[in-house]
């Protein structure tokens, strides 16, 4: 009885499954999707007795093979080649980012080479790295976007390290002038080592993450924008040489007037703190700048 009901259900489903209109719709869907070969199971089989079945389809060894494969492949390729609704906007934004990145990298070169303030030197280095990030986003694609994100992360870590080491060097030497900072490796080994390693990473010394991200940015745009990549490479070489030259004089040599481990206040341009006097209650009173003198512990 159960077998009889099962065959009865199949007899009821077969006319719906083998309906000519349904078979034609399946064939058209396969042709539009570019399917050239489908396994001929009961869900994808064209009924032999359907008089409305599509042309150039035949049953062989349990498979349905499309004889119009070149036409289907050309149709799929044409659909993929059609630009999306926002293709023009994406292209315009990419051109703006490439222009912004190229200008940022090129403008940062003379300022980095001629700068004597150590903190401004690091600031102009950030301008160059922001330009590299903009170039990666402008080149686009998965590779360019990944390179831009990697460069953002690696630059943030390296720049934080370099700013901390440079601040310690400024506190020790009492000046932000690059020429006044000498012998950090001898005076402050930890600060000098961290400053040297951070500058090498910012300059793109392999195998740092910044070197890898810059290499990926160049690779993502070298085919479509070879002129831009050539200009960026020349600027990177100049920046690398300038940073190594500037920091090399800071970390090597004799410490000069700064003793080992000694820290002095930063030069504030000649301004001095006013002397203070303490009253009987232990409170500090600032003496006025004038001819008068603050009376401490007088009668009330």
Q: Is 20 in contact with 53 (CB distance < 8 Å)?
A: yes
CA–CA distances in Å: residue 281 to residues 7, 274, 288:
108, 20, 19
In terms of residues, how long is the chain? 300
Count of Cβ atoms closer than 10 Å to residue 3 Cβ: 7
pLDDT tens-digit map of 95-105: 999 999 999 99
CA–CA distances in Å: residue 229 to residues 68, 101, 201, 223, 263:
44, 11, 21, 9, 44
| Cα–chain center distance at 126 | 13
User: Is the pLDDT assigned to residue 166 strictly greater than 70?
Assistant: yes
Q: Which residues pair with 66 in a beta bridge?
A: 57
Residue 279 to residue 271: CA distance in whole angstroms: 25
User: Is the pLDDT assigned to residue 172 strictly greater than 90?
Assistant: no
Q: Which helix (H) or strand (E) holds 39?
A: strand 37-39
Q: Which of helix, strand or coil describes residue 23?
A: helix
pLDDT tens-digit map of 227-262: 999 999 999 999 998 888 888 888 886 766 554 444
The DSSP output letter for 204 is T
Mean pLDDT for the chain overall = 72
User: Is the pLDDT assigned to residue 277 strictly greater than 70?
Assistant: no
The CA-to-CA distance between both ends of the chain, in Å, stands at 119
Residue 300 to residue 298: CA distance in whole angstroms: 6
User: Is the pLDDT assigned to residue 209 strictly greater than 90?
Assistant: yes
pLDDT of residue 230: 94
pLDDT tens-digit map of 130-145: 999 999 999 988 999 9
Place of tokens 């993929």: 80
pLDDT of residue 271: 42
pLDDT of residue 36: 46
pLDDT tens-digit map of 47-78: 555 555 554 444 444 444 445 455 556 656 66
């Amino acid at each position: 009885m159960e077998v009889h009901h099962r065959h009865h259900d199949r007899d009821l489903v077969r006319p719906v499954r083998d309906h000519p209109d349904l078979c034609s719709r399946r064939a058209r869907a396969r042709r539009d999707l570019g399917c050239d070969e489908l396994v001929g199971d009961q869900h994808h089989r064209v009924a032999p007795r359907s008089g409305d079945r599509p042309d150039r389809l035949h049953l062989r060894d349990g498979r349905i093979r499309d004889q119009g494969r070149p036409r289907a492949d050309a149709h799929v390729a044409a659909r993929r080649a059609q630009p999306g609704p926002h293709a023009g906007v994406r292209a315009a934004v990419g051109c703006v980012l490439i222009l912004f990145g190229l200008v940022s990298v090129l403008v940062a070169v003379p300022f980095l080479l001629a700068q004597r303030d150590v903190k401004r030197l690091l600031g102009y280095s950030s301008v160059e790295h922001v330009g590299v990030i903009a170039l990666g986003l402008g080149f686009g694609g998965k590779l360019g976007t990944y390179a831009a994100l990697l460069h953002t992360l690696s630059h943030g870590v390296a720049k934080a390290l370099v700013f901390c080491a440079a601040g310690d060097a400024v506190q020790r030497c009492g000046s932000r002038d690059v020429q006044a900072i000498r012998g950090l490796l001898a005076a402050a080994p930890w600060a000098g080592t961290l400053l040297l390693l951070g500058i090498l990473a910012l300059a793109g010394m392999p195998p740092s993450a910044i070197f890898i991200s810059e290499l990926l940015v160049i690779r993502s745009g070298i085919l479509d924008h070879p002129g831009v990549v050539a200009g960026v490479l020349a600027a990177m070489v100049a920046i690398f040489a300038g940073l190594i030259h500037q920091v090399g004089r800071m970390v090597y040599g004799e410490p000069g007037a700064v003793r080992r481990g000694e820290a002095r206040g930063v030069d504030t341009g000649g301004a001095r703190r006013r002397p203070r006097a303490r009253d009987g209650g232990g409170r500090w009173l600032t003496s006025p700048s004038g001819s008068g003198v603050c009376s401490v512990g007088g009668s009330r």
